[in-house]
Structure 1
């Protein structure tokens, strides 16, 4: 129940235990909402009193209500969930008529270890594109969830029997510094380049299960060069850091797509580590394929960064500097 005046808006919550979880440890969730909206929130028994400007009160009310509904569904509420509600509260995406799994406007990816929920409108559109298209591109700066969400969708499709395997690949290109010769066998040499992909998989699959899937080659993580000559059928295939693929490598990879497969290409046009004068295959693919039906392109910006807030500020600073006339 909600009542209010010009200066105070009262929210009443029927379950006091859930209200405790909503407030968070030492009321840190309320503090976060207060900081973001500029309101003051006071707790009185099973009520929250919101003081502030009407527009700010309405925003806080919407976020608090959404978070409480989440708790009623048996889910947790953390800092990431608060961030997501603020990002998405500006627009109500409404029901999606194309994909039944997104009925009611909800976009969720179920994996073995966690439920993954996009935190921006662009992320929601990206996830829908991954489920709805056989070939999809995610292009934008670091920290926007391009690879993370793609791997989550791949795990979801694998555990639901929609694909038989997951294949994750990256160009083995050093990021601006020479590491010299690496010790060990081939796996030892390439694993440092593939570590971000292992990190994502570990978030979605239990350790023992992931190790077994890798041993059985149901999950493959390999450098881009290892894709030559293969036909990737009934697989969910991700090419990460695609800006570091050459034009010939990109063409080679795209033509590996086989029957029953889904392919995702992710990259950041501002982080090309190829030698000077070598064109990026991602830029060429974007130019050549953007007009082809059933190929989805999703573009992320600094507003979609879901890492530390400073990351978005850093990216925006570099983007502004790049726009200045030489």
Structure 2
């Protein structure tokens, strides 16, 4: 792997040190990050101290934190050796997955053997990895179930990961087309009648799906596939009357679908297809008194074994750390 670890003898209740030796100084520079920002991020998250000594990093800390920090550094270095970039989100994700191992009771001396997620999604432009245990379970269910629900707050990767899995299945020939949909419901604002063609009218509602798709495939390829109808992005209302065979279908913002719309959508499932329904029950934009089809689907389909439900919390947020704090604050306020 291009590195080795040397751990000095341990003494009771002392601050221990782990020495990591890296044999490629260029990769070590990338590992540390500009102005050692990657090291600073690990130090802050795990409450350790990391000092560079030539081609070695000294990790100092107490308890399992030192082992976890060393494991994160080793995994990041492995990513660099494989020719992949290291982003701040990768570091947060590895630390979160490591925290989950600690919560399971894994001893501190075994945390050093921890590795990042073994679940990967290959797309045209990038390799996507789940960054939390909740995301990992969700991705596994997306591959293993014909109908999967992802329910939770904003920023937890529900739609992003679903689109990534869809792109993976499309380019590998497991499905013939991708269909991305969401209800065309205004988020508390009256926008009036939009000018332009049908596509120009609905594109503003579909923009989050465009953003996710363009993250995984070149823009020209996306445009060509849309022309050929290999990729469709359309409002939920356009699904009526269709049977979707050998397609990967994503319904985003499902909390804004009515009960009848949800039933209509679910019954579009055809042979060889996969469906993913994502939504946030705390952000319903339906008119007052109109029940959410997502809530009804949870209740009605709960007993069907071939349907998977994954629930996310603020711990799964992979956007700016402040987003998780905002979600927790609103949840606490609603609980009062």
Q: Distance in 2 between matches of 1:154 and 1:278?
A: 31
Over residues 117-137 of structure 1, what are the superposed CA-to-partner deviations in whole Å (9 max), with x where a residue is unaligned?
A: 010001010001000000000
Q: Is the 8 A contact 2:151 2:311 kept in 1?
A: yes
Counting matched residue pairs gives: 315
Say if 2:45 is the partner of 1:4.
no
Instruction: Determine the C-alpha separation between the residues in 1 that align with 2:283 and 2:310.
Output: 18
Does residue 150 of structure 2 align to residue 150 of structure 1?
A: no
* 1:203-243 Cα deviation digits (max 9, x unpaired): 01101110000001100000000000000001000000000
Please name the residue that 1:244 is paired with: 256
Residues 141 and 308 of structure 2 are in contact (CA less than 8 Å); yes or no, is this contact kept in structure 1? Answer: yes
The secondary structure found in structure 2 opposite 1:232 is coil
Task: Find the counterpart in structure 1 of residue 78 from structure 2.
Answer: 69
Q: Which residue of 1 aligns with 2:111?
A: none
Question: Is structure 2 residue 61 aligned with structure 1 residue 20?
Answer: no
Residue 20 of structure 1 deviates from its aligned partner by: 1.3
Deviation at residue 89 of structure 1 after TM alignment: 1.1
**Residue matched to 2:283:** 271
Q: Deviations over 1:266-291 (max 9, x none)?
A: 00000000000000000000000011
Q: Cα distance 1:147–1:217, how it changes in 2: closer, same or farther (>3 A)?
A: same
Q: Give the deviation of 1:251 after TM superposition.
A: 0.3
For the residue of structure 2 that corresponds to 1:4, the secondary structure is coil
CA distance in 1, matches of 2:176, 2:204: 26
Q: Deviations along 1:98-132, whole A, 9 cap, x unmatched?
A: xxxxxx96100000000000100010100010000
> 5+ unaligned residues in a row in structure 1: which ranges?
94-103
Q: Please state how far the C-alpha of 1:185 moved relative to its aligned partner.
A: 1.6
Structure 2, unpaired ranges of 5+: 103-115
Contact 2:156 2:312 in 1 (8 A): yes
Structure-2 separation of matches of 1:161 and 1:56: 43
Query: Which residue in the other structure is 1:316 paired with?
Result: 328
Deviation at 1:10, TM superposition (A): 1.7
CA distance in structure 1 between the aligned counterparts of 2:162 and 2:251, rounded to whole angstroms:
10
Question: Shift in Å at residue 188 of structure 1?
Answer: 1.0
Question: Given the alignment of the two structures, is residue 175 of structure 1 paired with residue 192 of structure 2, yes or no?
Answer: no
Deviations 1:49-84 (A, max 9, x none): 123323322221121122122222222212111111
**Cα distance in 2 for residues equivalent to 1:9 and 1:129:** 37
